[in-house]
């Protein structure tokens, strides 16, 4: 099938893009003139989100997508190949939290089931999706991959008793984000001779379903780091760990 989209217009895929930071990231990218495709496990909710974006004059699409379903990875590849012929931006936004109370150390109590499910979404599914879509990103003039991490994945800060996150030891989530950061470093190194840039984003403690009511940042601010890394210029960083323009320690 011949790609139907305007080849000069950038195309972005945001996993878990039907709500929260993912939806706001899609909105902000869309307002920059980028075609946004949101992946949603619940297609009805995804369609409702895309309708909201289109009502704001944003070029938005939705596909049924679960990052833990490897068949959906192939479906996503087929969608971008047939409809666009490329992919400029991949934002690995989908994530889960299975640890419960963030201020309770879950290392000795987290179940193997919850640990595996956390890694399957936050790490394994994300890695395998990226590998599947990489050939399309390589066709883009300036591919960008953004991995939604967290400051809780910083081993340096988790080991520092004086750091602001030392008291948060949600083991499954934190370990999955540390693994995701390792993926960022390794993939950036693998792609260092290409036009693709790969970075980890810490959005901040944001008022989402996952962040909770005690969070200190509003959703539009929480999306800023992802948007900035998705639209980096040629002189921008790769293999970095960023929050609102500032580098975090691994």
- Active site members: 173
Question: What does the chain come to in residues?
Answer: 250
Contact 110, 173 (CB under 8 A): no
Contact 89, 146 (CB under 8 A): yes
CB atoms within 10 A of CB 220: 14
Whose CA is closest to 147, among 116, 181, 186, 188?
Answer: 181
Residue with tokens 């190949």: 81
Rg (C-alpha) for the chain, rounded Å, is 17
Structure tokens at 100: 């419960």
Inter-residue long-range contacts of 47-50, CB under 8 Å, 24+ positions, other chains counted? 48/18, 49/17, 49/18, 49/19, 49/23
Distance between CA atoms of residues 35 and 14, nearest Å: 11
Residue with tokens 């039907």: 18
DSSP state of 151: G
Q: Which residues contact 227 (CB under 8 A, 6 or more apart)?
A: 25, 28, 29, 32
């Amino acid at each position: 099938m011949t790609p139907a989209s305007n080849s000069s217009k950038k195309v972005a895929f945001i996993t878990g893009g039907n709500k929260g930071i993912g939806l706001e990231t899609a909105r902000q990218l869309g307002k920059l003139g980028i075609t946004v495709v949101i992946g949603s496990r619940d297609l009805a909710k995804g369609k409702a989100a895309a309708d909201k974006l289109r009502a704001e004059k944003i070029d938005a699409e939705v596909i049924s997508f679960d990052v833990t379903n490897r068949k959906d990875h192939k479906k996503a590849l087929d969608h971008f190949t047939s409809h666009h012929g490329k992919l400029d931006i991949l934002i690995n936004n989908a994530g889960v939290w299975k640890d419960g109370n963030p201020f309770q150390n879950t290392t000795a109590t987290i179940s193997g089931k919850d640990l595996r499910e956390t890694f399957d979404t936050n790490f394994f599914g994300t890695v395998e999706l990226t590998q599947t879509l990489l050939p399309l990103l390589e066709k883009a003039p300036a591919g960008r991959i953004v991995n939604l991490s967290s400051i809780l994945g910083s081993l340096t800060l988790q080991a520092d008793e004086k750091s602001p996150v030392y008291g948060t030891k949600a083991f499954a989530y934190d370990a999955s984000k540390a693994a995701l950061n390792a993926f960022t470093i390794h993939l950036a190194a693998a792609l260092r001779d290409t036009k693709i840039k790969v970075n980890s984003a810490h959005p901040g403690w944001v008022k989402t379903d996952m962040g909770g009511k005690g969070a200190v940042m509003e959703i539009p601010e929480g999306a800023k780091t992802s948007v900035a890394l998705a639209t980096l210029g040629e002189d921008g960083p790769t293999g970095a760990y960023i929050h609102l323009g500032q580098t975090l320690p691994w």
